[in-house]
Amino acid sequence: MLAFIIRRLVQSIGVLLAVAFIAFAMFRFVGDPVNQIVSIEASAEERAQIRESLGLNDPFVVQFARYVGRAAKLDFGISYQFRQPVTKLLGERMPATLELAFVSAVFALVVGIPMGVYTALRRDSWLAKLFQAVSLVGVSLPTFLIGILLIYVFAVTLGWLPSFGRGEVVRLGDWWTTGFLTTSGLRALILPSITLGLFQMTLIMRLVRAEMLEVLRTDYIKFARARGLTRRAINFGHALKNTLVPVITITGLQLGSIIAFAIITETVFQWPGMGVLFLQAVQNVDIPIMAAYLLLIAFLFVVINLAVDLLYAVVDPRLKVTVRAA
Amino acid sequence: MPYVTQEEAKASPPTVATPAPGWFARVMDHDLMASFLASRVTVLAALVTLALAVLALFAPLIAPYNPFDPAEVFLIDSLNPPRWLPAGDARFLLGTDDQGRDLFSAILYGLRVSLIIGVLGVLMAAAIGITLGLVAGYVGGRVDAVIMRIADVQLTFPAILIALLVDGVVHALLKGASREDTAFGVLVFSIGLSFWVQYARTIRGSTLVEKNKDYIQAARLVGLPPIVIMARHVLPNVIGPVLVILTINLGLAVITEATLSFLGVGLPPTQPSLGTLIRIGNDYLFSGEWWIVAFPGLTLAALVLAVNLLGDWLRDALNPKLR
């Protein structure tokens, strides 16, 4: 087991280094960093001096090593457009994005799994067919259209829920702000998290349905029926439990894309998160923010992947055995 | 084979006399066609796709106005509701947008832009993916390792994020050019770079299998250069599954383009795609002008849904396991 974890750790570090390389290449070669710092009238000597003081004349490998070293200390440089440290800008907006992503993931799981189980057990009922049709539409509709639709129905026409912002937030500790503790904060979370979670929800529903149909055909389910166990015990105790391994994988892998897709949802709902910041950076060619965001997503992805691998061993005892044998 | 008596066999005309079936009969007789016609949803999806493609292709002929001709657009006509509403104007079927452009015409032109970018983007992704996949599979060794590790790293990022990054970086590199001139090409390029991995993996897998077959060994013995072997002998035998990926990815590519344009990093309002139109319409949602966002949105949804249904069907129909 330990060897397995170490191998995965080495792989993860490899991925992170590769992404850091891309981020550094962007940082260094797209747009001259010197131009972003000095004024237009600066003389050639001044430029050369700044170039030297920034270490831009050092060999490429040295510069890359320095970049990685700084990134490890969470120093990503100064944003071109805001003239503030990138770390501070991202840190301020991170709680909003993480809370949104968390609620979306919970929504996707809590709604998606029961829908998947239902459509698998009552395959021919009209409700199951409706769920299937909805899931197809959910896969085909772009995220921003779903958001616009929800805003039009629930915010503009019915006026039930707010259409933008986080509502009132409460400050916890040094830098974390939460919308979980106020009514307006919770209400503001509803529409964005449905928008963001809908795609993952349909994905999970389809997955659970397919897995359930597969498992229900197996011998040990037939045996459980023959033993006279109740339907409930068979369906939920035996069948559902065995569909959870792929569900954990997909949910884990999707968490990364939830955070990335938050860019779109945050734009639609004017949610003050990292996605909006990243989008502004793309529009204004603010390379330090783009590079840092790229690294952040890669880091989250790697961490989530590791966690999923570890969870596997907990959920599926067979894996523990094979890993030990290997 | 039905049972035929000797007398009947004598009486029946010689088989030579029946002419070879034409291409239409052959198409109609094919397995794929039978499975196509058996699914009503698929036929409907094909019809919708075809109708939208025709509308897009002949947009300049069908559209009642040219939304890009300043001589035909008047600000005084702006924000007209659709024709069937009380305040509607008979000249504008689906109403007008904030600049007085006929929405129906703008949608036709937008559909055209969206479809062209989607198709070109998917083709570019396929070209990159097929080339890299062939080279990785055929050459093997270190080349293979490098290409496939790049693919692995790229797979950790959602395509939309890659497209956004490529878009930002390319625009930064093309500082001098105006967004209007470069947006189209940059979008195709971003989509191409975001979706190549799937093609590369599929092609590499089949190339690894084909590589060791006798006909490739024979081609090598004859002394053909590797590039000729890859292009003329391996490629035709591994290209099959690409068709399915192309269809499935077309929907994704159209969504990606629309999303980038909606986010304001795609096409500018002067040459709007469906995404740009939705972005414009979104600003008027709160003041009650719902039609500016609703009709482009419906068109986009119909297009993507139809293409996705076709892709799903094609995947199942060509999957030997499900036959």
For residue A34, CA distances in Å to A37, A253, B17, B101, B268 come to 5, 38, 83, 45, 30
Backbone CA torsion sign across B144, B146, B152, B158: negative
pLDDT, mean of residues A72-76: 79
Q: What is the pLDDT of residue B120?
A: 93
Share of chain A above pLDDT 90, in %: 0
In contact, A56 and A34? CB cutoff 8 Å: yes
Structural domain includes residue B45: yes
B161–chain A Cβ distance below 8 A for any pair: yes
pLDDT digits (tens, 9 = 90+) for B223-244: 888 888 888 888 888 887 888 8
Q: Of B153, B160, B165, which has the smallest distance from its Cβ to A290's Cβ?
A: B165
Environment class of residue B162 by beta-carbon count within 10 Å: exposed (0-12), middle (13-18) or buried (19+)?
buried
Q: Which residues of A touch B156 (CB under 8 A)?
A: 15, 256, 298, 301-302
pLDDT digits (tens, 9 = 90+) for A165-198: 777 777 777 777 777 777 777 788 888 988 888 8
- Comparing B65-74, B187-196, B297-306, the range with the smallest average pLDDT is B65-74
Q: Is the per-residue pLDDT at B155 higher than 70?
A: yes
In contact, A77 and A252? CB cutoff 8 Å: no
In contact, A206 and A135? CB cutoff 8 Å: yes
* A279:B286 CB<8 A: no
* B167:A18 CB<8 A: no
How far, in whole angstroms, is CA A188 from its chain's centroid?
20
- What's chain A's average pLDDT? 80
Domain count, chain B: 1
pLDDT, mean of residues A151-172: 78
Q: What is the pLDDT of residue A316?
A: 66
Give the number of other Cβ atoms within 10 Å of residue B31's Cβ. 10
Q: What is the pLDDT of residue B1?
A: 42
* B160:A267 CB<8 A: no
A148–chain B Cβ distance below 8 A for any pair: yes
pLDDT digits (tens, 9 = 90+) for A225-246: 888 777 777 777 777 777 777 7
Structural domain includes residue B8: no
Structural domain includes residue B308: yes
Structural domain includes residue B14: no
In contact, A202 and A138? CB cutoff 8 Å: yes
* A145:B158 CB<8 A: no
- Rounded to a whole number of angstroms, the distance from the CA of A175 to the nearest CA of chain B is 27
Q: What is the pLDDT of residue B67?
A: 72
Q: Which residues of A touch B286 (CB under 8 A)?
A: 156, 163
CATH code 3.40.640.10 for A86-286: no
For residue B145, CA distances in Å to A244, B113, B152, B239 come to 33, 38, 10, 22
pLDDT, mean of residues A131-147: 82
How far, in whole angstroms, is CA A6 from its chain's centroid?
24
* A18:B286 CB<8 A: no
B102 - beta bridge partners? B96
Q: What is the pLDDT of residue B268?
A: 80
Query: How far is the C-alpha of B185 from the C-alpha of A200, rounded, in Å?
Result: 31
* B262:A264 CB<8 A: yes
Size of interface A-B (CB pairs under 8 A): 107
Q: Of A148, A163, A278, which has the smallest distance from its Cβ to B293's Cβ?
A: A148
A290–chain B Cβ distance below 8 A for any pair: yes
- Rounded to a whole number of angstroms, the distance from the CA of A144 to the nearest CA of chain B is 7
Q: Which residue of A has its CA nearest to B296?
A: A145
Q: Which residues of A touch B293 (CB under 8 A)?
A: 148, 152
Q: Is the per-residue pLDDT at B138 higher than 50?
A: yes
Q: Which of residues 1-60 of A touch B (CB under 8 A)?
A: 15, 18-19, 26, 30-31
* A19:B263 CB<8 A: no
Structural domain includes residue B24: no
Q: Is the per-residue pLDDT at B97 higher than 80?
A: no
Q: Which residues of B touch A151 (CB under 8 A)?
A: 285
Q: Domain containing B118: what range?
A: 37-68+92-318
- Domain segments of chain A as ranges: 86-286
CATH number at residue B55: 1.10.3720.10
Please write down the HEC assignment for all residues of chain B.
CCCCCHHHHHHCCCHHHCCCCCHHHHHHHCHHHHHHHHCHHHHHHHHHHHHHHHHHHCHHHHCCCCCCCHHHCCHHHCCCCCCCCCCCCCCCCCCECCCCCEHHHHHHHHHHHHHHHHHHHHHHHHHHHHHHHHHHHHHCHHHHHHHHHHHHHHHCCCHHHHHHHHHHHHHHHCCCCCHHHHHHHHHHHHHHHHCHHHHHHHHHHHHHHHHCCHHHHHHHHHCCCHHHHHHHHHHHHHCCCHHHHHHHHHHHHHHHHHHHHHHCCCCCCCCCCHHHHHHHHHCCCCCCCCHHHHHHHHHHHHHHHHHHHHHHHHHHHCCHHHC
Q: What is the pLDDT of residue A326?
A: 43
Q: Which residues of B touch A148 (CB under 8 A)?
A: 278, 282, 285, 293, 297
Query: How far is the C-alpha of B24 from the C-alpha of B43, rounded, in Å?
Result: 17
Q: What is the pLDDT of residue A317?
A: 65
Q: Is the per-residue pLDDT at B177 higher than 60?
A: yes
Structural domain includes residue B4: no
